[in-house]
Structure 1
Amino acid sequence: MSDKSTAALATLAASEHSRRAMLGMAVVGGASAAFLSAPGRASAAQNKGPGGGSGTFRLTVMGTTDTHGNVFNWDYFKDAEYTDSKSNDIGLAKIATLVKAVRAERGTENCLLLDAGDTIQGTPLSYYYAKIDPITGGAKHPMATAMNTIGYDAAALGNHEYNYGLETLRAFEEQCDFPLLSANSLDWSTGAPVFQPHLIRSFKVPGEAKPVKVGIVGLVTPGVAIWDKANVEGRVKFGGIVEQGKVWVPKLKQAGCDIVVVACHSGATPGSSYGDALPFPENASTQLAQEVPGIDAILVGHAHEEIIERVVKNKATGKDVLLTEPLKWGMRLAVLDFDISKVGGRWTVAHQHATLLNANTVAEDAQVKGLLQQDHDIVVTYVNSVIGSCTSAMSAQTARFEDTAALDFINYVQGLVVREALAGTPEASLPMLSIAAPFNRDAAIPAGEVTVRDVAGLYIYDNTLLGIKLTGQQVKDYLEFSATYFQQVDGSKDTYLPDEVTNAKTALAPNGTPDYNYDVMAGLDASLSYDIDLAKAPGSRITKLTYDGQPIDLAGEFIVAINNYRQSGGGNFPGVKTAPVVYNAQLEIRQAIIDWVTDKGVIDPPTFTVYDWRLVANGTAIKVEGASEGGRH
């Protein structure tokens, strides 16, 4: 075992030691002593059964979730090793190293490895084998290869498993050496599960005739019915998580399961991005723990949150249910420990505990890396490949202080996607608007050949696209809030430096409002035009606000294409969190732009560029150094 792997397990042991000390539990003797023993000796020391020592069996359940096509610690859009502000690493190659270390310490025969969904979508690696060299045509999916090699026991389906259609999902299922579980993915006509609903595993306890039986149930957020309607309508329907939990957990208990673990692709914080559009909530893991007796632990997914250990009490039994969520992308490995002892002839959980191991503490597993290096290299070549051309260069360098073709392009694609999705609905006739922020000052699409990476640079975040409904008044309020990004100036200077007008310091942003909290709003089929008067105080800066050449109807309704970060409250923009959601297929905006260029082949800025907002002072246009001479000034 590597020094890094040993260090990771030492951290795990220290966590257990601290927890038990706080609870007044013994940290020597019995299971705890074994847990803290040297790597490789734990299972021999503690899982002997009554005839061999403590009489306590320790089962370890490891878990990942929302791996989203990440095998390597690599950022395909930056063409560089992955890094972020918290020094996270990603990918199943690193998870493989952690899994091997835990199995060596606990004993492979005493371990389960599960996943809580969203596996085959999210990176160019997964996209390539869904669309470019699809697994439906015979290619092997890298995630199947990696997960088979690591030795997963089961994986729940996530909502993104349905993104590429049932045929692709079935092809992936056939390539996996483990079952894909989904107890609430139901046949449209019969209501029977269309995927395996559960798995039962038995664990032999030395010195005991009766094994420990573990039942695993897979559940997915019902939002698939909305987000992937085109792929599932008429074929698959989705029952409520709590409702289906009440069906399948009792069946597992009746089958003699001593422990029940649910891999639940549904967040722990209650709520639904789709409001009451479905009779079942999107995020229901906590309700599942509270309302369905018999569950011991839930491996949570979908929300991309880090939950080390959360205990929820079941309302009917008063029993503690353990919840954990290992963040996303293979950044963490959840480790759940169950100390099990015999009570009245039945195996019963005496203690349970969860912690997370950080992937940045270990190296990538050489076996997984070697098996998939060729696939990785192919995709690196792909993202650096030419997918289209551009008739004239576009740059985001000045997008924070003048209208640019670069942001108009993002808004154009976003608006098209939402409008197409709403075809045939009551909202299809409403005016379509879209918002985009100047995320990356260095983003540029060159004239001539354009690569996947060129396009992806326009949108550096992993945001997904939503459509919400706002009134004209709410549109104006939104723009007023966005305009707090600018500093107040009187317009007396011939030319202002960008830093003299942008990134205003506010109560919410005492160090200056970041670029990503300034949104430009544009119309798809007609111009949404407005001035931002920097001579006026924040809250009263939006003037000459028109749609299609007429003063905006403050009581009218508009559809606004918006990213999930903003819609969920990021930046604290008004109106959006409570606005009706009319579209949410959880499509990554970055991928939508890449798909558009791939499909159309040519980016022609004059066809979508409209210079319809400007900075003014007391109604007179102001000049900012670096701004172009064209456009609306």
Structure 2
Amino acid sequence: MTIIQCFATSDVHNGIPNYDYRFKQVTKEGLSVLMDQIKERDKEKSLLLDNGDFLQGDIIGNMSFDHFKKDDQDSPNELIQYMNKVGYDVIALGNHEFNYGLDYLQYTMNHLNATVVNSNVTYEQTNEHFTTPYVIRSLQVDESTRPLKIGIYSVVPEQILNWDKFNLEGILNVESMYQCSQNMSKQLKEQHQCDLVVCLAHTGMQLNLKEDIHHENQAHLIAKDEYLDGIVFGHTHEQFPGLYYDGLDEVDNDKSLIHNTLAVQPLSSGRSIGVLNFDVSYDATTDRYMIRDQFTEHIMSDHEGTDIPHDVLRLHEVLLQYVDEPVTQIEEPVMSYTHQITPNETTFTIAKATYRYVNEMLDILDKDIPVISSQALFKGGRDGIKDFIHMTPPTLTMLDAINLYKHENNLAVVKVNKKQLKEWMEFSNGHLTVEDEQYIVKPGFPTYNCDIFYGLNYSINLDKPRRYNSKGIQESDHERVQNIELSTVLNDKEDNSTEIFDDYDEFYVITNEYRINTFEPLKSCTNLVEHPVPINKIVLNDVKKYGLSKLRQLPIQYHYNQYPGKLYMYVPTISLDVIDKSFKLDDHGELWSKVYKEI
């Protein structure tokens, strides 16, 4: 038996050291401990691959970008040094690799030892590939046979042109992932005579398996390919094989197959390594390698010690200094565990900071048009029980400030009419639903799509079905948002006065570039901000100057009639001692607990 292995990570998002910088303790999870577990892999018969989104996502990304801006760009920063040390063979580009701009991405690619691969991004003027479109590696199966040739290529969603419009517009083009994949796999198998072809697809898999070759999640389409032997996919932070994908047509969870193509989706944030295993044999008469058997596995951390692997120590030591830098002082704890029911300073500080910036630094507003700041929570549990904001007095640190807004989204200001604004508000409450005759925050609904509209007071009717799903696709004609009025919460008035919403036909909304380029009713809007301004930098500078902004009143009220007035959600069990005491425990789980608030 000869097993060819592709060890793969995806969506690491800086989840490298096995250390919780918030609580200052060693943990069992992190890319560093997983890499420590596969140090002894047979490098003659295996490859180490990354499927993109390693560059951005947490404090390492911010620190590394600061290094790029301030220090010698001829030397690799600590993040690149670590990626080189663990020995990746091939690294694909994910959508978040483009967040910091092309200069920083080029700097990163120049210093990585691994081959950086992407097949569907080209330069607009020359049509040349942005980076190496594919790589072919030879693996020694047996001393008596020729080396096995494995071809690897990579694709990324077309939507990067919308998500990072400021950085990419007029410079890059992106081909459909499906169309590009069909061409690349055939080219590698027929023209280059590869024995195995593997696609690093930075895309997820739609549960409705929609045949849309321009959708951001196309793993199920890409896998429908006679020339493709294996696919590593990601982007959505789920795990395949896994219960999330159970019961889908043409998907075999037991055999880890999508349309008969071997597939794996590693967990995000360095929580698992996905492995494609091909048991091959050589046929001398045809000079071909045959796949006798194939299977996948997930390598999870078995780290039980209190140490940090040697390879990551340098990065860890630099991070310890960086995250503890003081930014400002706070008097009370500020946390995001229950934010989806009771918004607080975690998003209001972003709203206030962007409002101040737009008013003080940009001359783009008509003073007779109301201004709203629409902001969402990024650290709300999507990536596990540690993915929350947890600030404790007296010092708000650099780590706390970065956690307020961890992504490199650029500022956007749009002028919308009343209908556009109301549709937007309907989309933003799709996480609220009814299950088992209980009002509940739907687990897994991405918090970054749950905008809070500061500058408005409004109520949500929980008895009505939602109008939009998490992807912004309308699924009913119901309207939940009601009783809208304008508030003074963003300015410095202390009277909490309101104005009549229907007296106005147009509104300015401060948001981010991602939102206006992904939600259909906003795509016709023009961003009034003419140059890229990262929101996380606005927030950091504002917090340094003003501290956290105190929220005087909640913008949202809830209406209900059908069921008891309790709104449920799941929070990490470790947070029960510190969450708002108006929440009551309903059910206790090992990692997550169900709590409710009377509304």
Structure 2 match to 1:350: 292
- The reply to whether residue 306 of structure 1 matches residue 234 of structure 2 is no
How far apart in 1 are the matches of 2:428 and 2:273? 42
Structure 2 match to 1:293: 226
Return the match for 1:94 from 24, 33, 52.
Answer: 33
The verdict on how the C-alpha distance between 1:79 and 1:138 changes in structure 2, with shifts beyond 3 A counting, is farther
1:101-126: CA deviation from partner (whole Å, max 9, x where unpaired): 4x1xxx33111111101111112123
- The reply to whether residue 220 of structure 1 matches residue 220 of structure 2 is no
1:424-447: CA deviation from partner (whole Å, max 9, x where unpaired): 9xxxx9954425579799966868
Q: RMSD of aligned C-alpha atoms?
A: 5.3
How far apart in 2 are the matches of 1:261 and 1:365? 35
Partners of 2:8 and 2:51 within 8 A in 1: yes
Partners of 1:411 and 1:436 within 8 A in 2: no
Return the match for 1:236 from 163, 167, 172.
Answer: 172
The verdict on how the C-alpha distance between 1:236 and 1:484 changes in structure 2, with shifts beyond 3 A counting, is closer
Structure 1 match to 2:575: none
1:445-494: CA deviation from partner (whole Å, max 9, x where unpaired): 868x64224435767x9898999986455577689999999xxxxxxxxx
The verdict on how the C-alpha distance between 1:482 and 1:339 changes in structure 2, with shifts beyond 3 A counting, is closer
The verdict on how the C-alpha distance between 1:375 and 1:558 changes in structure 2, with shifts beyond 3 A counting, is same
The verdict on how the C-alpha distance between 1:395 and 1:201 changes in structure 2, with shifts beyond 3 A counting, is closer
How far apart in 2 are the matches of 1:65 and 1:593? 24
The verdict on how the C-alpha distance between 1:154 and 1:451 changes in structure 2, with shifts beyond 3 A counting, is same
The verdict on how the C-alpha distance between 1:243 and 1:601 changes in structure 2, with shifts beyond 3 A counting, is same
Structure 2 match to 1:199: 135
> How many residues are matched?
495
- The reply to whether residue 185 of structure 1 matches residue 121 of structure 2 is yes
Cα offset for 1:402? 8.7
Cα offset for 1:209? 3.9
- The reply to whether residue 529 of structure 1 matches residue 483 of structure 2 is no
How far apart in 2 are the matches of 1:258 and 1:484? 49
Structure 2 match to 1:283: 217
How far apart in 2 are the matches of 1:616 and 1:332? 39
Partners of 1:483 and 1:532 within 8 A in 2: no
Partners of 1:483 and 1:541 within 8 A in 2: no
The verdict on how the C-alpha distance between 1:532 and 1:441 changes in structure 2, with shifts beyond 3 A counting, is farther
Structure 2 match to 1:262: 199
3-state SS of paired residue (2:62)? helix
Larger Rg: 1
The verdict on how the C-alpha distance between 1:228 and 1:265 changes in structure 2, with shifts beyond 3 A counting, is same
- The reply to whether residue 115 of structure 1 matches residue 58 of structure 2 is no
1:354-390: CA deviation from partner (whole Å, max 9, x where unpaired): 1111124576997xx3344233222222211123568
Partners of 1:399 and 1:441 within 8 A in 2: no
Partners of 2:203 and 2:236 within 8 A in 1: yes
The verdict on how the C-alpha distance between 1:371 and 1:193 changes in structure 2, with shifts beyond 3 A counting, is same
| 1:165-564 to 2 correspondences below 5 Å | 165-206=101-142, 208-253=144-189, 254-269=191-206, 280-290=214-224, 292-308=225-241, 320-343=260-283, 344-361=286-303, 369-388=309-328, 407-413=347-353, 432-435=372-375, 450-455=396-401, 471=420, 473-474=422-423, 507-509=438-440, 521-523=452-454, 527-530=455-458, 543=483, 545-546=485-486, 549-553=498-502
Partners of 2:277 and 2:295 within 8 A in 1: yes
The verdict on how the C-alpha distance between 1:436 and 1:200 changes in structure 2, with shifts beyond 3 A counting, is closer
1:62-87: CA deviation from partner (whole Å, max 9, x where unpaired): 111111122211233443335xxxxx
Structure 1 match to 2:539: 596
Return the match for 1:79 from 24, 28, 31.
Answer: 24
Partners of 1:483 and 1:518 within 8 A in 2: no
3-state SS of paired residue (2:265)? strand
Contiguous gaps of at least 5 residues in structure 1: 1-30, 32-56, 83-88, 486-503, 568-575, 586-590, 618-624, 628-633
Structure 1 match to 2:66: 131
Partners of 1:389 and 1:602 within 8 A in 2: no
Partners of 1:266 and 1:303 within 8 A in 2: yes
How far apart in 2 are the matches of 1:455 and 1:599? 10
Partners of 1:270 and 1:284 within 8 A in 2: no
Q: Percent identity?
A: 23
Contiguous gaps of at least 5 residues in structure 2: 253-257, 381-386, 463-478, 489-497, 528-533, 560-579, 583-599
Cα offset for 1:154? 0.6
How far apart in 1 are the matches of 2:176 and 2:558? 52
The verdict on how the C-alpha distance between 1:419 and 1:174 changes in structure 2, with shifts beyond 3 A counting, is farther
1:171-210: CA deviation from partner (whole Å, max 9, x where unpaired): 2222222100001121121212120111111123335443
